[in-house]
Amino acid sequence: LTFSTPFARQAGTVGRALPGVELRIEDPGPDGYGEVLARGPNVMMGYYRNPQRTREVLTQDGWFRTGDLGKLDWRGRLYLAGRKKNVIVLESGKNVYPEEVEWELSRIPEIEEVMVYEARRQDKVVVAALIYPNWEALREQGITEKEEAKEILWEKIREAQRNLAVFKRIKSKEDIDLVDEPFVKSTKQEIKRHLYIEMRR
């Protein structure tokens, strides 16, 4: 849907719409992010012999719902924040995009994989994370026990989160859990979030 040239690259953007493709943002929030809609000759026109599914992904005037959350700048460049179905809506009405938090935490050498999700603590929505540790990196520091690893990881997370707005941060060590195996992924190598979220309900 988009392209970027070496001479017009901008950090954080996936580029402008391809020739013949239109992009628009549906119901943008205060931060400018909303669902990315696309229309054009190379955009899907629906599902074969499945009118119900087609109605779910196409608006009445032919715009395709990508399921991605993004915003457009004044030059028409698209910035993506994550998937609409993954967004965490806090009581304040502010949105937290798990992929943004995951990107910051995945830079921690002691973290192999991470999944950020919405949890509830005393009837309040909080940002939480499941972590598959990098045990090789931890063992090099003499850490072999799960609880000790969690303590170290929490300190690393607190430091890494300084790059995030306060409302996007994991607030407590109790909101992180370690998993024993790598996450189950789809053929696109995306974590099957629903498997882990359902287990914690």
- Summarize pLDDT for 73-91 with one digit per residue, the tens: 999 999 998 899 999 999 9
Q: Could you tell me the residue range of the domain that residue 166 belongs to? A: 87-199
* 8 Å CB contact between 4 and 15: yes
Residue 167, Cα to own-chain centre: how many angstroms?
Answer: 16
Phi/psi of residue 192, nearest 5 degrees: -80, 80
Distance CA 47, CA 27 (A): 25
Q: Which of 51, 84, 117 is the last residue of a domain?
A: 84
| pTM attached to this predicted model | 0.81
Instruction: Give the amino acid at 115.
Output: M
CATH number at residue 170: 3.30.300.30
CATH number at residue 13: 2.30.38.10
- H or E segment and range at residue 155: helix 146-160
Q: 3-state class of 153 per DSSP?
A: helix
Question: What pLDDT score was predicted for residue 198?
Answer: 80
Domains of the chain: total: 2
Q: In 87-134, which ranges are continuous DSSP H helix?
A: 98-105
Distance CA 96, CA 70 (A): 13
Phi/psi of residue 34, nearest 5 degrees: -160, -175
Q: 8 pLDDT exceeds 60?
A: no
**Residue bearing the bigger pLDDT, 82 or 135:** 135
**95 and 77 together in one domain:** no
Is residue 6 very low, low, confident or very high in pLDDT (cuts 50, 70, 90)? low
Distance CA 16, CA 75 (A): 8
**165 and 131 together in one domain:** yes
Distance CA 15, CA 6 (A): 10
Average pLDDT, stretch 93-113?
96
**118 and 154 together in one domain:** yes
Torsion (CA) 110, 111, 112, 118 in degrees, nearest 10: 170
